[in-house]
Structure formats: C-alpha cells, structure tokens
Structure 1
Amino acid sequence: MLARHADPIVAIATAPGRGAVGIVRVSGKQLGGLAQALCGRSLRPREATYLPFLDARGEAIDQGLALFFPAPHSYTGEDVLELQAHGGPVVLQLLLARCLEAAAEPDQTAHAPRLPALRLAQPGEFTERAFLNGKIDLAQAEAVADLIDASTEAAARSASRSLSGALSHEVQLLRDALIQLRMLVEATLDFPEEEIDFLRSTDARGQLQRLQQRLAQVMQRTQQGALLREGIKVVIAGQPNAGKSSLLNALAGAELAIVTPIAGTTRDRVQQTIQIEGVPLHVIDTAGLRESSDEVERIGIARAWEAISTADAVLFLHDLTRADEPSYRAADAAIENALAQRLPARVPLIDVWNKSDCAPTAHPAQIAPDRPAIALSARTGQGLDALRRTLLQVAGWQAAPEGVYIARARHVQALQAVQNHLQQANALLDAPDLPLDLLAEELRLAQNALNTITGEFSSDDLLGVIFSRFCIGK
C-alpha cells in the first residue's frame, strides 16, 4: 500500500452545480475529533443527526444531517463522516474548507492537529480504499463507476449485478476449480513415478474439460456484459446524397444532421448514441466519399475514413434510385475497393439500400453474397427494424438473459488469456511424454490471468488507470 493511502481524505461527493442536497465526505482513521469540531457534539454510529455545521467561531455554516460510520463498518473500511447539507456550490465549498481548517486545528486533549495529513481526495480514491481494505474486489469497484456511467436501463441493471458480486462469484468458482486441478498436478510432481495413474484416477482430464466448459459460459456472459457497457461504434459511409444524414436522423428519432438535396452538405462527423434492446450504439454520420477539390469537404472526407478505421461495424449506404446508373455504380465500386483495403477483416460491413419508397424496385442488387444486405427507406422508416436486428446480430448480441452482468474489455481479455492457457494445458495432457512442469506452469498462468479480474493479483499501474477514471468523491 502506498503512503498516500494512509492519509485521511475529504471531497464533495455530489455532482457539481446546484441541487437540493449536497454531501461532503471524509474518510480516515480516528475522525471522532473532527466530527466534534464540525458538529459541536459527538455522533452516534450509523445514526443520522440533524444539527448545524459550525465554522471556527462556532457559528452555523448550514444545517443538515451528519452521519458517522466507524471502521470497519463503512464504505471504505475506515472511519467515514458524511455531512449532508443544502446543495449549493458555495455552501459545499465552505464545508469543505471548514473540514480542512478543523483538521489543522489543535485537538483540545492532545494539543496537536486533529488530522494533520487531511487532504483533498483524488478521483476514485474512496472506492480505491474500499478495494484496498477488502470491502469490495476490483470487479465490484469497476462496477461502481459503470453503474454511475450506465447509458441504458439494461446497463444499469447489469452493473448493479456486478456490484453485488455476480461476476466475482463466477470468477471465484473458476478459481476454485483451477486451484483443485493445480493441486493435483503439483502433488503429482512430488511423486513422479505415479504421475499417469494418479492423474487418471483423479480424472484430471475430466476436471479440465469441465473447467473449460464453465469458462466458455462465463466468457459468453462477459462478452454480452462488455457490449452493454461499451456499446458498438457504427459508421454510416457512402457516396454523397445517398441518405446518410437521413438514416442517422431516422435511427435517432430526431433531426440531428442537416439534410438537403445538395451533394456534400455533411462536411464533418455527426454522432449520436442510441440504444437497441439496451445495447448502446454510437452511430456516426460522415461526409460523402468522393474526389473533391473543396478543401473543407476534403478534410471532412479524411475524417470519415478515420472514423471508418476505428468502427465496430460499417453501414455502406447505397441509393436505390441511382443503382442502375453506370457512373454511380463505378463510384460505389471504387468505395468498395477502398473499404476492402482500409477496413480490418474483423469489422462487419453491411450493405444498406436506401430510398426503397422511391425506387422502381425495392430489391437491392447483390454486391457481396457473404454479407448482409438490407433495403429500407430512411424517410418512411420501412426496413429500420430489420437494420436494428442486423446490427445486434453482427455485434454478437443475444437476447439478454436476466443474469447478464456488466463487464469491461479487460475482463474479456483476461478470460481469453485463461482460455488460451487451458487449451495449452489440454494439449500437454495429450502429449505422449507428459511434461508435468509445463502443465503446472500453464495452470499457474491461467490462475494469474483470472486473478487480475478481481484484483487478487494486480499491478499498481493497473489500479491507477482504473481509479483515475472515477469522479472525485467516489
């Protein structure tokens, strides 16, 4: 634990701006003296007390509720003092300044500062202390931020499940099974003359297979949880006047992008986040792809290609009313070739044929038989539901079961590492001359990867990255 983790900390724990209630939170050791100075009396543990908050002269800054949570029965595992006042920015700043001032004042009994090291909390430091003091594990700590940042109801419910320990419980079950298997292999290393019979009699192969099956189930749920948290980035690309801005407006249900018959109206990216079945979709409208001598439009086209290169899915928009024009088809073919060169193979490409309400036929031409093609009308909305379903399908989303928990990309990557090590272990079990030391190492590495999810094994750098993204006061 770093030295700064021993310092008492204080912060405004509610969002900036005006509100009915604002909270100033203090966490540290032996906060009773500070509570006495601020409230003019001692506080009963875990009991809300309505009283005035006092300045250095004993005059009231405000009146509100004070709560004192002695260690270890608090959010952080330390003593925690919460002052719930009126939510004006000036009032809360006065309370914050008073906390720092009172901490530096000499205690009447000890004749020394009450809390000489009291300082402003860094982002996420209260939750970081809850993790360091064993109140929550790392996956639950991340779920706190995910619950605050949830952009859909499904994401909020899933984050709540992770906060209650759903993901951690699954990881613990995997860890227990892995430890059991490691124990068998390590024991066999001590008795090499019985290695094959011992591993057979304890069904090591069966245990490994059951572990891999359970891991696959957890990975499936975790990937769904990562989708709920991260969403998918969908870029609309195509020639000018194909209806890209109209499609964005139709998906968003609002007039976000300017729509005119003039080619090249969209000069820069326009982004909107929508949700489909609780999954956030970050939809980006881009400038029409073509050769242009207009400097501003060329910059917009360059930014369009930048967005395409980082997309999770690309909608290649075509105009059905111009589908039979040789020049239009040639321009589409040029974009198709450019997409093939620039778009990573893992990114799905969906052909969307717009203006089906105006075209002589609503059936799109088949450009690539191995990818989805949808005909729709951004003006009437016909075909939008089919597009939404296709986007969820290519993203890998399945109808969300009640038990899905929020997850992060790092959780998915850690489980993939576990899967790779278990596959290597399975291959070693099939080797003619069983290398027990290598088998034991693969299982150890699998457990290390698993431990990074809950923080049983984490570097200080990883913790710094995670908690720095929290808001101050949490």
Structure 2
Amino acid sequence: MQVADNQSMLNPTADPIVAITTAPGRGAVGIVRISGRRLGPLVEAICGRALTPRLATYGPFRDAEGDAIDQGLGLYFPGPHSYTGEDVLELQAHGGPVVLQLLMQRCLQAAAEQDAATGAARLPRLRLARPGEFTERAFLNGKLDLAQAEAVMDLIDASTESAARSASRSLAGAFSQEIHHLTDGLINLRMLIEATLDFPEEEIDILTTHGVAGRLAELEHTLTAVQSKARQGALLREGIKVVIAGQPNAGKSSLLNSLAGAELAIVTPIAGTTRDVVQQTIQIEGVPLHVLDTAGLRESSDEVERLGIERAWAHIASADAVLFLHDLTRADLPEYAAEDAVISKTMAEKVPGSVPVIHLWNKSDVAAGAALPEGAIALSARTGAGLDELRQRLLQVVGWQAGAGEGVFIARERHLQALARAASHLGVAAEHLAGPAPMLDLLAEELRLTQNALSEITGEFSADDLLGVIFSRFCIGK
C-alpha cells in the first residue's frame, strides 16, 4: 500500500502502547494487547520465558514477585507480520475486570523497571493506548489503507447481517480495489495527456490514436457504478431515520409495534398516551431503520404532552422519511380532516423537500373499501395488512436497490463526498476534451484533482487532522 505523502512512518523508537481490547464488563475471556518495538524483554518479564512467534502458549502471567496473576494464553507476533506492523503481544486471560486491570498494570510496571547496575532502561516504556491507536499504527505502517481501517470499526458497529458482511468486504479491500482500479486508469490517462503537452513537436495525435475520449467515458461509467455501490453501503452503515407522525389515536404506537414485532409502545384508546419518543431499530432486507414513534400532533394545554409534541416536530424535521399516519375511521369527520390539513401544512414548512413523506391510512380492517388519495397506502397496524407494501415503499424512497446487498461494500459520508468531487472534476475534464480545441492543460489538471479526491478515500492524500478525527472515534484497544 502506498502511504500518504504527508504522513511519516512510525518512529522505530516510538513508545509501545497497551490496552484492554475486550469490552468492559465480565466475560469468559479478556485480552490485553501491547504493540511496539523490541518487546522481547517484556514478553519474558510477563510470561517468564520467550514465546514462539505465532504459537499460543499456555502458562502463568506473573507479577513483580513472580507470583501468578492468572493462567492464560500468550501470543507473540514479531513485526512486521502483525496487525500493527510492530511487535504485538496478546495476553488472553480470564475476563474479569480486576484481573485485566492487574495484567495491564503489571505490563506498565515491568516496562518501567530500570537496570540497577547501569541505570539504563531494561524494558521499553509503555503507555496507555489512545482510542483507535492500534489500527492507526496499522494504517501508518502500511498494513491497512484508510478505507480498510474505517471498516474495522464499521464491522464492530454493524447493526444488521448485511451491514456486517459489507464491512467485512471493505476490510478485505473490496472498496479499495475499486478505487485503485479507477486511480490506475486515471494515471494512464494522465500519462498520455502529459506526453502530449511535453512533446507537441512530435505531431502525433495521441488523443485519437489512444482513444482518450473513450477511456475518459469508461472512467466516468466506472465511477458512476462505484458511487451507486457506495450509496448502498452508506445506507447499510447509517440506516434510515423514520418518524411516525399523525394525530392522536391514529395508531402510531400500534404501527411501531407491528413493524418491530414486539410490544414496545403502550397502546390505549386514550388520546395523548404517547408523550415522549419511543425508538426501535428494525431491518428491511438488511437495511437498518431507526423508527421513532412520536406524540400525537395536536393543540394541548397539558405541559408534559406539549413538550412531547415539540420533540415530535423536532424529529420530523430531521427525519430521512416520515410516515404520516391517518385514521380511516375518522376520515369523514370535518374537524379531523381540518386538523390533518393543518398538520400537512406545518409538515411542508418543517420538512425539507428532499425528505419523502409517505401517507398511510390506518385501520383498513375496520373501514375497508374507503377511497384513498393517489400514492397513499392502506394498512392495518392491528392485523399487519399493508405492512409489506410499506416496507418496500420505504426502501424505494430512500434509494435502496433490490438485491443490492450482495457485493456492496460499507461506505461513509466522507467517501460519498470524495466520490462526488471526483465525479465533478471528471465531468469538467470531459468538457475540456469535447471542445473544438481541447484544452489539454486544463484537462490534465482536472484529472489530477480527480485522482486526489479518490486518493482521500484510501488515505494516500489525507490531512493529518482528518486522521485524528477518524481514529479518535474508535474504541480503546482497537
């Protein structure tokens, strides 16, 4: 992997780092991980002997007096053949919080011991790892590119099976391979353009003989396909915020319970039962949906209910999709229709035009055959009728493609933005080429900017402050 020009490789004398890598709490197994240079003396101090590389060795982990803190497995991976590219020691012990803390403190203590005879440090000095520092070192040492490094945390955070599989593809390099393929094509195209600029006296029409226009069009087509996959991957990673809204007693809580398949929200015939937001994450074809049941929208003198309604409007304004639930059994009542019209007007003012509002007419099991507005969905939250149509409509309005889960790699918002910039520069390049007198110098510059935008995804050209933000969001020990 090519490492970013503005990033230096880790200093060979950099401090080793240590952290508990398993989740807080009690468990069958807990792991303490150390990464650094020349960890051999530290291995012997903790395990009482040298360990055979990449071979699990069972034995005691000893304190300063030689007594056993615990019995477990020691694994030693000499660099560069390790996760971080440095020497890595993993101590797999019983998963009690106190045991793991004792082990970590023993590692720090052993690393700080001094040679009494010479005053020189016998062992490398350890410090506690920052969030994401193990993976950051893997990136800086060329073991992972930036897209793969981000996929590590995406795999941990995956909320559905499809999201986990997509993150695994990105970690294995599927996304990076797509970017490298595009970058290779750009480099070849830039070479042709630069050759034309450097040797104009040759009078060779490189643009024609090498099919530059065709190559550029092919790159645009490939980039469009990568953007489509990335958008699907972003949906799998981020999920969709879906807000259920409507008047009291329209069946919003019943709809949430039906979608979730569990009794999450209290359902009563009393108006104003739901006073705060109830949220549940469900999945449709592997896409996470964060569904929020909100307070019924109406004028209220009750202070608690009024605060719940304010929160409801705040969530509606920030939704990715809104389910506007209507009551078929009250559709003919003038006062109900008038209040629905007021809510629709307010919703049009608060919800961005790009956010879809799906109109649902509930209680179709009671008011069967009622006429509905065009595009509306009749359903029964009680019986489940119409829910399948609603699920498919949700996937449709947010841009999910049926069967897209296969082959999709996980993606983040910054990836989408980088791809959009690359597409923009490539489009401008095509315009420079299509003119009656192709402006090759401007074309070459746009191709360079396209390559830079793509390289931000894998980390070849990434600002140090961006790296700091990315890795600071990792958990400690990863």
Pairs aligned (count): 469
The 1:316/1:283 distance shift into structure 2, 3 A limit, reads same
How far apart are the structure 2 equivalents of 1:430 and 1:184? 16
How far apart are the structure 2 equivalents of 1:73 and 1:235? 48
Deviations 1:59-103 (A, max 9, x none): 111111111110100000000001111111110000000000000
- 2:456 pairs, out of 452, 455, 458, with 452
Q: SS of the residue aligned with 1:264?
A: coil
Most deviating of 426-435 and 7-16:
426-435
Checking the alignment, whether the CA contact within 8 Å between 1:46 and 1:67 is kept in structure 2 is yes
Letter matched to residue 32 of structure 2: V
Q: SS of the residue aligned with 2:326?
A: strand
In the alignment, what sits opposite 1:94?
Answer: 102
The 1:331/1:198 distance shift into structure 2, 3 A limit, reads same
The 1:197/1:250 distance shift into structure 2, 3 A limit, reads same
- 1:387 pairs, out of 377, 390, 396, with 390
Letter matched to residue 386 of structure 1: E
Q: SS of the residue aligned with 2:108?
A: helix
How far apart are the structure 1 equivalents of 2:118 and 2:203? 66
Question: Displacement, 1:362?
Answer: 4.4
Letter matched to residue 476 of structure 2: I
Deviations 1:180-220 (A, max 9, x none): 11111222221346689221221111000000111111111
Checking the alignment, whether the CA contact within 8 Å between 2:255 and 2:381 is kept in structure 1 is yes
In the alignment, what sits opposite 2:132?
Answer: 124
1:219 and 2:222 matched: no
Question: Displacement, 1:287?
Answer: 1.1
- 2:271 pairs, out of 259, 263, 266, with 263
Q: SS of the residue aligned with 1:317?
A: strand
Deviations 1:36-73 (A, max 9, x none): 11111111111111111110001111111111110100
Checking the alignment, whether the CA contact within 8 Å between 1:102 and 1:114 is kept in structure 2 is no
- 1:297 pairs, out of 283, 298, 305, with 305
How far apart are the structure 2 equivalents of 1:48 and 1:252? 44
The 1:26/1:442 distance shift into structure 2, 3 A limit, reads same
Letter matched to residue 98 of structure 2: V
Q: SS of the residue aligned with 1:414?
A: helix
TM-score, with structure 1 as normaliser: 0.96
In the alignment, what sits opposite 2:378?
Answer: 375
Same amino acid, percent of matched pairs: 72
Question: Displacement, 1:131?
Answer: 0.5
- 1:405 pairs, out of 400, 404, 409, with 409
Checking the alignment, whether the CA contact within 8 Å between 2:239 and 2:287 is kept in structure 1 is yes
1:147 and 2:155 matched: yes
In the alignment, what sits opposite 1:103?
Answer: 111
- 2:355 pairs, out of 343, 347, 350, with 347
Question: Displacement, 1:334?
Answer: 1.0
Q: Where do residues 301-340 of structure 1 align in structure 2 (5 Å cutoff)?
A: 301-340=309-348
How far apart are the structure 1 equivalents of 2:368 and 2:57? 74
Deviations 1:402-433 (A, max 9, x none): 21111112111111111111111111112233
Checking the alignment, whether the CA contact within 8 Å between 1:428 and 1:435 is kept in structure 2 is yes
Checking the alignment, whether the CA contact within 8 Å between 1:8 and 1:115 is kept in structure 2 is no
Question: Displacement, 1:435?
Answer: 2.1
The 1:457/1:172 distance shift into structure 2, 3 A limit, reads same
Letter matched to residue 424 of structure 1: V
Q: SS of the residue aligned with 2:191?
A: helix
The 1:2/1:213 distance shift into structure 2, 3 A limit, reads closer
1:424 and 2:428 matched: yes
Checking the alignment, whether the CA contact within 8 Å between 2:132 and 2:475 is kept in structure 1 is yes
How far apart are the structure 2 equivalents of 1:127 and 1:395? 33
Checking the alignment, whether the CA contact within 8 Å between 1:123 and 1:472 is kept in structure 2 is yes
Checking the alignment, whether the CA contact within 8 Å between 1:270 and 1:286 is kept in structure 2 is yes
In the alignment, what sits opposite 1:20?
Answer: 28
How far apart are the structure 2 equivalents of 1:2 and 1:427? 38
The 1:343/1:194 distance shift into structure 2, 3 A limit, reads farther
How far apart are the structure 2 equivalents of 1:326 and 1:151? 44
Question: Displacement, 1:179?
Answer: 0.9
Letter matched to residue 349 of structure 1: V
How far apart are the structure 2 equivalents of 1:185 and 1:405? 32
Checking the alignment, whether the CA contact within 8 Å between 1:212 and 1:422 is kept in structure 2 is yes
How far apart are the structure 1 equivalents of 2:181 and 2:209? 23
How far apart are the structure 2 equivalents of 1:43 and 1:109? 27
Q: SS of the residue aligned with 1:388?
A: helix
In the alignment, what sits opposite 2:441?
Answer: 437
Q: Where do residues 163-178 of structure 1 align in structure 2 (5 Å cutoff)?
A: 163-178=171-186
1:134 and 2:138 matched: no
- Gaps of at least 5 residues in structure 1 are none
